[in-house]
A and B are shown apart, each in its own frame.
Chain A
Amino acid sequence: GAVVSQHPSWVICKSGTSVKIECRSLDFQATTMFWYRQFPKQSLMLMATSNEGSKATYEQGVEKDKFLINHASLTLSTLTVTSAHPEDSSFYICSARDAGLPQTTNEKLFFGSGTQLSVL
């Protein structure tokens, strides 16, 4: 099956620093990638939709200047948490859609393994 690689799997950083998380589709091209966040005992919440070659679309309540998304190639999207604070500590996970498949096919979303971010 298709593989989405997400790195790092966990990161601890000091408050005020920035953290970059990478999401790569290894065996398919992904024109669209999605970034989710999950706080403890809550559900995965869509943060933003990343489109290759264009600006990301952010969900309501997500600060675009704090969560910078870059999707410069068909296989790589990055999420940078800028000036991280303890309240940004969360589980971040990406998913990617195979560009070769029908766009309405939700089941063809492939997820990374997630990144646990802890901000001290």
Chain B
Amino acid sequence: DQQVKQNSPSLSVQEGRISILNCDYTNSMFDYFLWYKKYPAEGPTFLISISSIKDKNEDGRFTVFLNKSAKHLSLHIVPSQPGDSAVYFCAASFTGTASKLTFGTGTRLQVTL
């Protein structure tokens, strides 16, 4: 039962354009969402998060949007840079059980010159 889904396994975007990575979840009890970025041969690193009490969180070039009614979140990267090429995982959790992250399958982003 895949509770967190990233339906696009890969995405290619031109440098300078916007990258939009999508994530859907099925469990409406999730109330905290995170995005992780993973380079080859490295572990995932935290990128940005959002609580369910918000619908948007911004950190520099990265913005996460949350649509609770649609059970959908997205990560926007503007402008995209070649160094953003990586695999991006979305994850969901319940506040108070910080350890129990439920991950999506990841989306491989390639930013081309």
User: Which A residues fall within an 8 A CB radius of B?
Assistant: 1, 4, 6, 9, 32, 34, 36, 41-46, 49, 93, 95, 97, 103-114
Contacts and interface: CB of A to CB of B under 8 A. Distances in A.
Interface of B: 2, 4, 9, 32, 34, 36, 41-46, 49, 89, 91, 93, 95-96, 98-106
B101 A107 contact: no
B39 to A, nearest CB: 9
A93 B43 contact: yes
Interface centre among A106, A111, A114 (most CB of B within 10 A): A106
A42 B105 contact: yes
B99 A43 contact: no
Given A45-B103, A109-B101, 19 more contacts: A1-B45, A4-B43, A9-B41, A32-B99, A36-B103, A43-B4, A43-B104, A44-B89, A46-B101, A46-B102, A93-B44, A97-B99, A105-B98, A106-B34, A106-B99, A108-B46, A109-B46, A111-B36, A113-B42
Nearest to B36: A111
Interface centre among B2, B32, B103 (most CB of A within 10 A): B103
